[in-house]
């Protein structure tokens, strides 16, 4: 599904989203001496504009890649861990064509009329993917982790609008997995297609 941001700001936002995910992919490929068998990248890009035609819309995009997979269909979900200790559901897609590159996209808005606060965004993310059989029954979820890249976050402000770009780059499970250990978040959403975790941000109308 294509998300339009409108005009020059839209082109800049779309370009920023692509650049953010390409950068995250490069980080994953160079994280170890050899490319990992699986990794994920997450980014959010969007614009808040208070003056003129009001706008409060961001696009969240998660990509999970497993190089050695056979290409069976899959589900994908992303969870975020806040500095407060709360775990939130960032996004979920119940069916994608291939686990080799599973992608989930969500259009969101901030709950209050103000730009996205980077420091209030999840510190860590857990991206889960699980294979689906011919009857769409889920297999065992695979989880990979990312950390918010504050050093490369971008806030591009003008007189009446703010374009924000945030990425989460791959980190070892040893750094982040314990933050999601209180519950089997991946297994729960794979089995039930629902999550007990609250949802981060608000779904935006297209």
Q: What angle do CA 14, 146, 183 make, to 5 degrees?
A: 120
Domain range for residue 49? Answer: 7-198
Secondary structure (3-state) at 175: helix
Say if 1 falls within a structural domain: no
Give the pLDDT of residue 187: 98
pTM, rounded to two decimals: 0.83
Give the pLDDT of residue 120: 94
Give the pLDDT of residue 16: 53
- Residue segments in the chain with a per-residue pLDDT below the cut of 70: 1-36, 52, 54, 69, 206
Could you give the CA distance from residue 181 to residue 185 in angstroms, rounded to a whole number? 9
Give the pLDDT of residue 4: 28
The total number of structural domains that make up the chain: 1
Say if 73 falls within a structural domain: yes
Say if 138 falls within a structural domain: yes
Say if 140 falls within a structural domain: yes
CB neighbour list of residue 104: distance below 8 Å, 6 or more residues apart: 60, 61, 62, 76, 77, 78, 91, 92, 93, 96
Give the pLDDT of residue 25: 46
Say if 36 falls within a structural domain: yes
């Amino acid at each position: 599904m294509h998300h339009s941001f409108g005009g020059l700001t839209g082109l800049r936002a779309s370009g920023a989203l692509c650049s953010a995910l390409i950068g995250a992919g490069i980080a994953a490929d160079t994280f170890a001496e050899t490319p990992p068998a699986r990794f994920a990248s997450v980014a959010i890009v969007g614009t808040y504009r208070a003056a003129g035609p009001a706008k409060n819309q961001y696009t969240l995009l998660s990509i999970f890649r497993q190089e050695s997979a056979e290409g069976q269909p899959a589900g994908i979900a992303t969870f975020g861990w806040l500095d407060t200790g709360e775990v939130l559901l960032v996004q979920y897609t119940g069916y994608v064509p291939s686990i080799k590159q599973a992608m989930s996209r969500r259009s969101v808005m901030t709950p209050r009329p103000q730009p996205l606060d980077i420091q209030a965004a999840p510190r860590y993310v857990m991206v889960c993917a699980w294979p689906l059989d011919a009857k769409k029954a889920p297999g065992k979820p695979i989880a990979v982790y990312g950390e918010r890249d504050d050093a490369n976050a971008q806030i591009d402000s003008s007189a009446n609008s703010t374009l924000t770009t945030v990425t989460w780059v791959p980190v070892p499970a040893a750094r982040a997995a314990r933050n999601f250990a209180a519950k089997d978040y991946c297994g729960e959403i794979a089995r039930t297609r629902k999550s007990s975790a609250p949802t981060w941000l608000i779904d935006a109308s297209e």
